[in-house]
């Protein structure tokens, strides 16, 4: 095999090369956003520096990556990646959005690294994980964070099956938090989703405080959580105007 005479110019100027490099940088930025130092066994200082560098590089990389799909004006006109196509949820598609969802939902769920019974007697561990949990189960914080991230993406995908309208990021996080708490089936059969799909997003936000019961009893913690979700929901709508 013989290289072409101007291979250096081709390598440094070819759009496809920069497109691939930008895509890798964007993926590495997302990689650092979903991990913790414990999971990589790196020094927290080195991990923080590497994460900051790649998160910063990921911003222009995404622009180059998107521009590489086609001419920039054509890319802006394209609807191929629109959220309504459900190819990828808005939280799943952004490391920053996932980090925000992790902080919000994890803060309300609370971290318990050893299995315990919740208020209605269900064995629970980490950030409210209830499936396949047995007495004596114990997880590290890194394992709990990883489980929560995976469940957030799974609940977002389940919610997207019945949420047929595009909503702002803050509202989406609030609705995923609510769905994580009440279950996808209950969420999809709710008046809240019916209002959202009918275009009444404010009305949908106002439905959240109604979901403050567990085992037929009103709980103060659930009441506070629902109001916090409602505030995030309305704030997102206000910012989107």
Task: Answer with the residue of higher pLDDT: 82 or 130.
Answer: 130
Q: Report the pLDDT value the prediction gives residue 28, as an integer from 0 to 100.
A: 64
Q: 145: number of CA atoms within 13 Å, CB side? A: 15
For range 101-107, the mean pLDDT: 93
* Residues labelled as active-site residues: 109, 118
Would you say 95 and 102 are in contact if contact means Cβ atoms under 8 Å apart?
Answer: no
Average pLDDT, the chain: 79
| Residue keyed to tokens 């110019």 | 9
Both tokens of residue 34?
């979903």
Contacts of 41 (CB under 8 A, 6+ apart): none
Q: pLDDT (tens digit, 9 = 90+) per residue, 28-81? A: 655 656 666 666 666 666 666 666 665 566 556 555 555 554 444 444 444 444
Q: pLDDT (tens digit, 9 = 90+) per residue, 164-222? A: 999 999 999 999 999 998 999 999 999 999 999 999 999 999 999 999 998 888 999 99
Q: Report the pLDDT value the prediction gives residue 113, as an integer from 0 to 100.
A: 95
Reported as type and span, the H/E element at residue 115 is: strand 112-117
pLDDT at 5 over 70: no
Query: Domains in the chain, start-ordered, CATH in brackets?
Result: 7-78 (no CATH), 85-110+141-240 (1.10.530.40)
Q: Report the pLDDT value the prediction gives residue 99, as an integer from 0 to 100.
A: 92
> What is the C-alpha separation between 238 and 227, in angstroms, rounded?
16
The model carries a pTM of: 0.63
């Amino acid at each position: 095999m013989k290289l072409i005479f101007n291979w250096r110019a081709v390598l440094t100027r070819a759009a496809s090369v920069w497109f691939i490099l930008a895509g890798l940088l964007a993926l590495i930025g997302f990689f650092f956003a979903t991990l913790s130092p414990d999971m990589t066994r790196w020094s927290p200082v080195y991990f923080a520096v590497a994460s900051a560098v790649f998160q910063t590089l990921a911003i222009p990389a995404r622009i180059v990556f998107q521009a590489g799909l086609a001419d920039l004006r054509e890319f802006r006109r394209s609807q191929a990646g629109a959220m309504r196509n459900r190819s990828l949820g808005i939280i799943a598609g952004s490391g920053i959005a996932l980090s925000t969802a992790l902080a919000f939902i994890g803060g309300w769920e609370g971290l318990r690294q050893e299995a315990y019974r919740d208020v209605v007697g269900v064995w629970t561990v980490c950030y409210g994980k209830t499936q396949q949990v047995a007495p004596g189960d114990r997880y590290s914080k890194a394992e709990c964070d990883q489980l929560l991230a995976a469940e957030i993406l799974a609940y977002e995908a389940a919610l997207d099956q019945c949420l047929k309208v595009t909503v702002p990021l803050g509202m989406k996080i609030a609705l995923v938090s609510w769905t994580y708490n009440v279950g996808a089936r209950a969420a999809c059969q709710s008046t809240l989703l019916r209002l959202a799909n009918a275009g009444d997003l404010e009305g949908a936000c106002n439905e959240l405080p109604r979901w403050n019961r567990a085992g037929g009893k009103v709980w103060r913690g659930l009441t506070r959580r629902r109001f916090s979700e409602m505030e995030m929901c309305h704030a997102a709508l206000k910012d989107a105007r």
